[in-house]
Chains A and B, each alone.
Chain A
Amino acid sequence: MSTVRDWAVPNPITENRSGLIGKPVDRYEGRLKVTGTAPYAFEVETPSTPLYGHIVSATIARGRITAIDLSQAASAPGVVLAWSHLDVPVQAQRGAKLNPRSQRGSNPALGSDRVEHYGQSIAFILADTPENARSAEARIRISYEASDADLDFGSFIDSAGPVPGEEDARIGDFEAGYSASEVTVDATWFSPLQNHAQMEPCATTAWWEGDKVVVHTSIQMVKGGQHALAETLGIPSDRVRLLTRYIGGGFGGKGQSYDDLTLAALAARESGRPVRVAYTRRQMFQATVHRPAVQMRVRLGADGTGRLNAMALEAVTHCARNSTFVEHAAEFARNLYAAPHRLTGHRLVRLDIPHAGAMRAPGEAPGMLSLECAMDELADRLGMDPIALRIRNEPEVDPDNAKPFSIRQLVRCMQEGAQQFGWDRRNPTPGAVRDGRWYVGMGMATAIRGNFLLPAKAGLRLTGDGLATLTQGMTDIGTGTYTILAQITGETLGLPLDQVRVELGDSDMPPAPGSGGQFGAATAGSAAFETGMVMRRRLAELATSDPRSPLYGEDPVLMDFANGNIVLGNRSESLAALASRAGPEGVYVEGSISPAADARDWSQHTYGAQFAEVGVDSVTGEVRLRRMFGVFAAGRILNAKLAKSQITGGMIWGVGAALTESNAVDPRYGSFLNQDLGGYLAPVHADIVNLDAVLLDEADDKANPMGIKGVGELGICGSGAAIANAVYNACGVRLRDYPLTPDKVLAALEAKGL
């Protein structure tokens, strides 16, 4: 196992001689996607004419199916078969694992007569067209016996219980430290349930080849999906080939498989035909996971100079009754600001609603909406600038564990951001700036998000045509993975980009953990880099040991790679020629990356500073973004365009969290109020004006051999808090109940007599 010291040695990526690293290359699949020519899972070619499945969803929150009659549906035009729990083919029991190494257990569909949440799958119809499959749903006769269901998070907050296996994190004596503080803040924030609202719904196309099933599905983790399906069907995982080449957004919601995968595979087996199954837009809201609501109490205690003495974040959140998911909304605070007396913890409410799960920056995204506003309130109370307050509390080592930082440029992010944004033009007095009927204000917040490296592998083949083809069981969920892996491979081998191919999303390829937790680029990319280095060594050995090579007899460690050649001094040979001589298959190598043995000796995060200017309509309470700017530090940047796109995309998610996005569970039915993109209000173009981000020069040599870090989730962190702070600065209203919709802002303005 390597150590971070090994990673600090200069390598082709850190030297970046051909300049591919950091280059703002367009996304390889961008044109395919926007022209509708990238085949998504539902659209891939099938070996024969496919059938179409439609999943029928429960319309009660909790209870039993006492009777279900599918006969009318089964005889509807075009219908091939219809299943309920009574006649669905046998599947392994939920959670069962035939293979102990499976990453996921069985996840049976239509497994019993029990309904555990509104929108759960209860029946399945297979037909010749999607229209016929859907249309037959109305012919199903079903009776339920409904049971009492716990649906309203708000009414169960007081009875929230501890998270199994977790204890509060305590350092020092929070209560004593807090009560001894000169200046305090004690307030509670609420952030609502949110949905991912991916453009591409969950979908699968499946067919069988003998006893092996081929599934194209929309999922972020190849192995997880492959194992879940194999365990559900009760077959070894090598009899499931899972492909996921183009994905229209994941955001954590596709970190797992859903019933479309299981039912497509079962129906393809039963019918002997390829089967396509997609969730409807409405099902995406209720049959996949969501970000749970969070209530967060924040207490801050400081001395008169703003030095924090005590800090507590106590989160209450929810998950489904039988789930283990926890939105760790308080955790980020452990590593952010210095304070000797600290308390962070989580409490959980179990509800009979669809499953809570991971959504872009789980933890930080809702959590920073509270602490970063509490810091603003503390600054206000102290009469301090919010940036000065944060710098006053900048720790020298990680305040949670006293580990040194790998690199921490948070202060620089704030200072450079302040300068470029024009923070000095902010009037600290709320309500002091008007533009016609608009109150105008500025706010800022910090961003912090962990960085991770997981084990991963990759394969790399060099062929006689001079092409290098990287293969990896990795996913590109719209983040640019294809593109950055090509840049890494090209730079490592000294090949131009048009001589590099990247093939992803196939369980037959060397495995990578997939996309999630902003670990994808660092993990898959480091494996690609290490594999490239394996290829360099193999090619050097081939050349120096082959009498036909001009490099014969030289020391292989002296070889260099540039412009498609292997080079020593003024002698060189093309990689194409080397690969040709190796045979028709060319040269194939595999490589891998693992976390360094001492990786956890450092505190390692990505950081940023968010700045927002908003207008608040003094008549109606509408809040509109006027401009937004952020400065971020996230290691070496592989592709300036795509990294910025990830960051600004995250910032826009924060705009949604602050101003528009929420869903509500109807306490009478257990259904979500918003089930389409006209009702669930993610920001649209008109909401986003003058938004920009800058990434600082950085390399984190404790992160991985390339010194890169994740950017996929950093941008959302603190973004919404900067907006809420700007709303306060604009009109003097502190709203702690997200999103800050016109009705809430107006009520607060009226309460102030405005």
Chain B
Amino acid sequence: MKPFAFERARNVDHALSLAAAAPGARFLAGGTNLLDLMKLEIEQPDTLIDVGRLPLADISETAGGGLRIGALATNTLVASDPRVRSRYPVLARAILSGSCVQLRNKASMGGNLMQRTRCAYFMDPAMPCNKRLPGSGCSAMGGLSQAIALFGASEFCVAVSASDMSVALAVLDAEVETVRADGSVRRRPVETLHRLPGDAPQVDTDLAPDELILAVELPPPPSGGQVWRKVRARASYVGALASIAVAGDRVALGAVAARPWRARATEAALAGGASPREAAEAELVSASGADGRKSLVRRLATDAIQESRKGGRS
């Protein structure tokens, strides 16, 4: 681990001014991903700004009938909140399928969104990786890992997002609220918080260095069934081979792209009266990658959409 300066933010303004003053700084919340990566020297921030004690952990009702979840609400708190469980079961289930209980107790809402890919070649500092060391190449291409993007990959990076939670947030049309040092507050859909790799896979999100996540806002849940499924070799503590969140007529796929992947083509096909299987196929038309992965997504999406239409909550 590289030596680094540690600052504890007293309030949001203090956190932002610290960030503005230290361009290489990173915000630290639960630390469940950032600290691991620092130990491997994949992340080498000069300064850590501890935002973990800021008063951003509340979950509250919004005027519009949705929920506002503070950036520092732990994954466990969100998944066990009765309002989340009853109105957004897809989110509770997605969170509970991620990681393990010890990490969910520490991991925060904002930190979960900011977690980096678990691509085996990104995680191995000895391997070429454009996301870790721009210009060094992509070992995952032609490599052994199955966790390869089906959508939105570039010739520089094929890594997929590791966040289960963000898939559910995307299907719920959640928005991320951020603030910068100049006081500007911005909202953007969770779906577009993460960049596709393009020619700069080292940049995961479009957040500015001095931009801090304050909260995630959920609009009222859509009508219709909500379904969450995560496919994996073992029953816990492993990333998805593929995941899916369905809420009403919306569909999002996980572990298939660098961001949670709203399956717009599937949604459009469903709106046009296509069968679940035809709708799943509509999205896969634009997919690249191995046939087995596409088969898995096709079957998973078909089944999950069918189940959501029965009002299912599996």
Q: Which residues of A contact B (CB under 8 A)?
A: 59, 77, 131, 134-135, 138, 282, 437, 617, 619-622, 624, 659-660, 664, 666, 668-669, 671, 673-676, 678-679, 681, 683-687, 739, 741-743, 746-747, 750
Contacts and interface: CB of A to CB of B under 8 A. Distances in A.
A134 B1 contact: yes
A660 B241 CA distance: 13
Interface stretch (B11-19, B140-148, B258-266): B140-148
Range class of the B interface residue count:
35 or more
Contacts of A674: 120
B269 interface: no
Contacts of B229: 620
B1 A681 contact: no
Contacts of A681: 233-234, 238
Counting chain A CB atoms within 10 Å of each CB, which of B2, B233, B303 scores highest? Answer: B233
A490 B220 CA distance: 68
A733 to B, nearest CB: 15
Which are the 3 A-B pairs with shortest beta-carbon distances?
A686-B236, A686-B235, A59-B126
Given A134-B1, A619-B303, A684 B237 contact: yes
A622 B236 contact: no
Contact of B299 (A131, A619, A671): A619
Contact of B144 (A666, A683, A687, A741): A666
B120 A679 contact: yes
Question: Which label, helix, strand, loop or mixed, suits the secondary structure of the A interface?
Answer: loop
Contacts of A675: 120, 123-124
A619 B229 CA distance: 11
A671 B129 CA distance: 15
A674 B123 CA distance: 10
A746 B234 contact: no
29 contacts: A282-B124, A619-B303, A620-B229, A622-B231, A624-B235, A659-B233, A659-B234, A666-B143, A668-B142, A668-B143, A671-B124, A671-B127, A674-B120, A675-B120, A678-B237, A678-B238, A678-B239, A679-B120, A681-B234, A684-B235, A685-B236, A686-B234, A686-B235, A686-B237, A687-B236, A739-B233, A743-B292, A743-B296, A746-B292
Interface in B131-167: 139, 142-146
Contacts of A131: 1, 3
Interface of B: 1-3, 41, 100, 118, 120, 123-124, 126-127, 139, 142-146, 229, 231-239, 241, 292-293, 295-296, 299-300, 302-303
Nearest to A664: B144
B296 A746 contact: yes
A138 B1 CA distance: 10
A622 B144 contact: no
A659 B234 CA distance: 8
B34 to A, nearest CB: 15
B3 A622 contact: no
B126 A619 contact: no
Contact of B123 (A437, A676, A687): A676
B24 to A, nearest CB: 16
A620 B126 contact: no
A744 to B, nearest CB: 9
Contacts of B41: 135, 138
B234 A619 contact: no
B234 A687 contact: yes
A741 B233 CA distance: 6
B146 A743 contact: yes
A620 B300 contact: yes
A673 B1 CA distance: 23
A742 B233 contact: yes
Contacts of A77: 3
Given A668-B139, A673-B144, A684-B234, 12 more contacts: A619-B300, A622-B232, A660-B234, A664-B144, A673-B120, A678-B238, A681-B234, A684-B237, A686-B237, A741-B233, A743-B293, A746-B292
A637 to B, nearest CB: 31
A661 to B, nearest CB: 9
Residue of A620, A687, A739 with most partner-chain B CB within 10 A: A620
Q: Which of A659, A675, A678, A685 has the most CB atoms of chain B within a 10 A radius of its CB?
A: A678
A620 B293 CA distance: 10
A105 to B, nearest CB: 31
B123 to A, nearest CB: 7
A660 B232 CA distance: 10
A686 B142 CA distance: 32
Contacts of A678: 118, 237-239
Contact of A660 (B1, B118, B233, B303): B233
A367 to B, nearest CB: 23
Contacts of B3: 77, 131, 135
Q: Among A676, A684, A743, which residue has the most Cβ atoms of chain B within 10 A?
A: A743
A330 B296 CA distance: 36
A364 B68 CA distance: 56
Contacts of A684: 100, 234-237
Contacts of A687: 234-236
A177 to B, nearest CB: 40
B233 A437 contact: no
A132 to B, nearest CB: 8
B236 A742 contact: no
Contacts of B143: 666, 668, 673
B270 to A, nearest CB: 18
Contacts of B146: 743
Contacts of A617: 231
Contacts of A620: 229, 231, 296, 299-300
The residue in B127, B142, B296 that gathers the most chain A C-beta atoms within 10 A of its C-beta is B296
Contacts of B124: 282, 671, 675
Nearest to A137: B41
A746 B295 contact: yes
B119 to A, nearest CB: 10
B123 A679 contact: yes
Nearest to B237: A684
B233 A750 contact: no
Contacts of B139: 666, 668-669
B269 to A, nearest CB: 19
Nearest to A57: B126
A59 B41 CA distance: 16
B133 to A, nearest CB: 12
Contact of B295 (A59, A660, A676, A750): A750
A731 to B, nearest CB: 14
Nearest to B303: A619
A135 B2 CA distance: 6
B232 A742 contact: yes
A742 B231 contact: yes
A742 B1 contact: no
Contacts of B234: 659-660, 681, 683-684, 686-687
A428 to B, nearest CB: 28
A739 B235 CA distance: 15
A753 B266 CA distance: 24
Nearest to A130: B1
A643 to B, nearest CB: 27
Contacts of B233: 622, 659-660, 681, 739, 741-742
Contacts of B2: 135
Contacts of A679: 118, 120, 123
A249 B127 CA distance: 29
Nearest to A118: B126
Contacts of A671: 124, 126-127
Nearest to A683: B234
Contacts of B303: 437, 619
Contacts of B299: 619-620, 746
Nearest to A655: B234
B145 A673 contact: yes
B241 A743 contact: yes
Contacts of A673: 120, 143-145
A669 B144 CA distance: 11
A659 B238 CA distance: 14
A620 B229 CA distance: 10
A619 B299 CA distance: 6
